[in-house]
Amino acid sequence: MEQVRVCRFCGHIEAAPGSERCDNCEAFSGMISVPRAEAERLSRSRKFDFLRSRLLIPGIALAVTALLAFWVSWNYLGLAPNPPVASTDVAPTLDPGDWPQTRRTVEGAGFTPNPVPYPHEIRWSYNSGGPLLNAPAVAGNLVYLTTDTGKLVALDRATGLPVWEHSTGFPSSSTPAVAGDLVVYAVRPGRILALDAMTGALQWERDMGNPILASPVVRDGTVYIGVGDYKLYALDIASGVVLWSFTTDDWVIAAVCLADNALIVVSKDNLLHVVDTDTGRRRLEYDTGRARQILGGPATQDDLVYVGSQKGRVWAINWRARSLPWDRFALFWKTTFHVWGWLTDPPSQRGSVWGAQVEGDVAQSPALAGGRVYVASVSGVVSALEASSGEALWETALGSPVTTAPTVAGSTVLVGTESGMVAGLDARNGRLSWRFETGGKITGNPVVAASTLYVVSHDGNLYALEAVP
């Protein structure tokens, strides 16, 4: 039988004799002498293996590229179908005489144009029988108050007398939200309830299965609230049905804020997320740094969102910016190279506008009014910053840790302290204009609705303060 030479590597057949080098792949010591039938079988096998090895890596790369393009299109370019929308467009009132939900409006600014009543006196007070931790909501003729004794109480706005109460037996860390004929609130073990705002009758209840510390925010028939399972939920206010959810990297304990079709949520780590309310998907992710945990909520005005963090940092971020999938990976290595001295300029994240330093950890939401950002720190310092640049305008030390987010009413900045004092500061220069003392720590933001200032205290009382005639 005819003997021929075949290359063990590529399967090339040559007539014997010849050199030890393959004329096709130029491999040395690859030629062996075998019968032609065996050579043809071996050639077919080697050519198939050779072709497969040449196509395998490009094929895998093409498949990975296709999958990545699909993932980006699905998550960032709107390829995925949109979630269901709310069955109603009911929303809290914007009347400056009311304070219908936490921070008053969905922007989270904590501002009302109504001036603070001063000099003031106690018009009425309501004792709940236990510490009051959360600011009330005020809408129509009623004041809605959650208690640590497991109740939601509706009080007559003029007299402070109870109109109705709903008892769950579970404490709440939630300021209620009033929209249309419903009042929505949450209890700490993880239940969200909607009651008839006038009668207190239960309309629906949903058990989220995880603790809830955040207050609900309502816009256009949708309730937005963070839960201890690392998720933000959007629920239909009419039924309590979950429309969509968004997963973060830690507990969501602060209320969200909204602007246009963007929702801004912070988790109890160092990340701020901008989520599209139409799709429920992330548009921007902003990292404040590992040592700068975000504990308070965000506030937005125009194109910027403001948030404070530990280590006394306040941030202004353009919420219209868009993240790319590889941004955090690139930021990590750029930061590392900057620390090593390989990059001269520190890296800048998408959406960065400015960062400012204030004294003490900022553990509460900022307040926005008149082109200024007002923040308070646990060290007892209240600061005013220029909203467009972060320039420090003034700071005032109160001598006691500030335990509430600031509220701006007219030209007065209001904060509550650990010592039980509500301080009224002149928004223009930070000077202390007046103070009101309670018998316990204040953790609920002072609320101004129409001509009344409402203050909750750990002494168990809700105080309604009105101007002295």
Residue 76 has pLDDT above 60, yes or no: no
Q: State pLDDT tens for residues 190-232.
A: 999 999 999 999 999 999 999 999 999 999 999 999 999 999 9
How far apart, in Å, are the Cα atoms of 450 and each of 98, 126, 157, 318, 411? 7, 19, 11, 33, 15
What is the model's pLDDT at position 428?
A: 96
Res. 179: pLDDT tops 60: yes
Contact 385, 393 (CB under 8 A): yes
Q: Please say whether the beta carbons of 174 and 186 come within 8 A.
A: yes
Of 400, 412, 419, 402, nearest in space to 448 by CA = 412
Which domains are delineated in the chain? Answer: 3-76 (no CATH), 111-467 (2.130.10.10)
Quick: pLDDT tens for 400-439. Answer: 999 999 999 999 999 999 999 999 999 999 999 999 999 9
Which residue type does 170 have?
F
Quick one: pLDDT at residue 251?
A: 92
How would you class 129 by CB atoms within 10 Å of its CB: exposed for 0-12, middle for 13-18, buried for 19 or more?
Answer: exposed
What is the spatial distance between Cα 295 and Cα 317, in angstroms, rounded to a whole number? Answer: 17
Per-residue pLDDT tens for 85-125? 999 999 999 999 999 999 999 999 999 999 999 999 999 99
Per-residue pLDDT for 176 more than 70?
yes
pLDDT band at 58 (very low <50, low <70, confident <90, very high): confident
Query: Which range scores top for mean pLDDT: 10-24, 78-92, 375-389?
Result: 375-389
Residue 95 CB coordination number (10 Å):
12
Q: What is the pLDDT of residues 319-329, one digit of tens each?
A: 999 987 777 66
